[in-house]
Amino acid sequence: MKTFRTLAFALIVALLTTIPSGTSARQAAAELFTCSMHPHMLDTKPGTCSVCTMALKARAMTPAEKELVDFLKAYDAAFVAKDLAKLATMYTPETIVYEGSGINRGWKNYSETHLGPELKAFENLEFAHTNVVPHVLGSDSAYVTADYMIKAKTGERLMDSGGIATFVLSKDSNGWKIRHTSTAARRRPAAGGLNQEQTRP
C-alpha cells in the first residue's frame, strides 16, 4: 500500500511537471490575440483591448498574416546573411527608410549609402524581429509592427541595441515589398535607473 501511494505520488508529480505551464500565455506559432468587438486590435500575447478593455482572445493567423510574418523571418535571415541581393527584392525602388530621425529615400540611396556599408562593417551580427503583429489592410497592402534587436561588432565598437519598428508593405506578383519602414531605438537607460523601454519582453 505504501509503495502504491509512493508510486501514485511520483506519478502525479511527474504528470504535473510535464504539463507545460503557461502554454496559453505564450504565442503559438501561428496565433494572434484579438478583441471579439474590435478585430483590428491585434497583439502577439494575451492582454486587454485598447478600445474597450475586454480580454483578448487567441485566434489562428490568416494566410495573409502568416505570409507577412514569414516575410519578416526571411528579411531577418537575409539581413543576418548580409544578403543585399535578397534584401533588394524585399523593398520597392521608391522605399523610404526612417531610422530615428535619419532618412533614406529610395532603395538605391538606402542600399548604397546606408545598408550596404553598414552590413559590410558588421561582425558577429545578430538581428531579429519579435512581437511581429501583421495588420492586413487589403489584399495588397499591410503594415507590420514589431520589436527588433541588433548586436554587432564594428571595428572596436560593440553595438547592443533594439527598439520598435513599423513596416508599410504592398504586394505585387512577386510577393510583399517594403514601401516604408520607421525604426526607433529604445532609450538608453538613465544612469542607475531602470529603462522603462526594456520592460516589454
Binding residues for Zn ion (CB under 5 A): 35, 37-38, 49, 51-52, 54
For Zn ion, give the closer residue by CB, 38 or 179. Answer: 38
Least distance in angstroms from the C-beta of 39 to Zn ion: 9
Per the DSSP assignment, residues forming a β-bridge with 46 are none
Helix (H) or strand (E) holding 124: strand 123-138
What DSSP letter does each residue of 127-176 carry, written as one string?
Answer: EEEEEEEEEEEETTEEEEEEEEEEEEEETTEEEEEEEEEEEEEEEETTEE
CB of 26 to Zn ion, least distance (A): 22
Query: Is the CB of residue 99 less than 8 Å from the CB of residue 146?
Result: no
Rounded-to-integer distance, Cα 36 and Cα 18, Å: 32
CB of 133 to Zn ion, least distance (A): 16
Q: Which is nearer to Zn ion, 42 or 119 (CB)?
A: 42
Give, for 184, the enclosing helix (H) or strand (E): strand 175-185
| Least spacing, CB of residue 145 vs Zn ion, in Å | 18
In terms of CB distance, is 35 or 96 closer to Zn ion? 35
Backbone angles phi and psi of 118, in degrees to 5: -65, -50
3-state helix, strand, coil in the chain (%, to 5): 30, 40, 30
Query: Would you say 38 or 82 has its CB closer to Zn ion?
Result: 38
Q: Output 56 or 125, the one with its CB closest to Zn ion.
A: 56
Nearest distance from C-beta of residue 55 to Zn ion, angstroms:
9
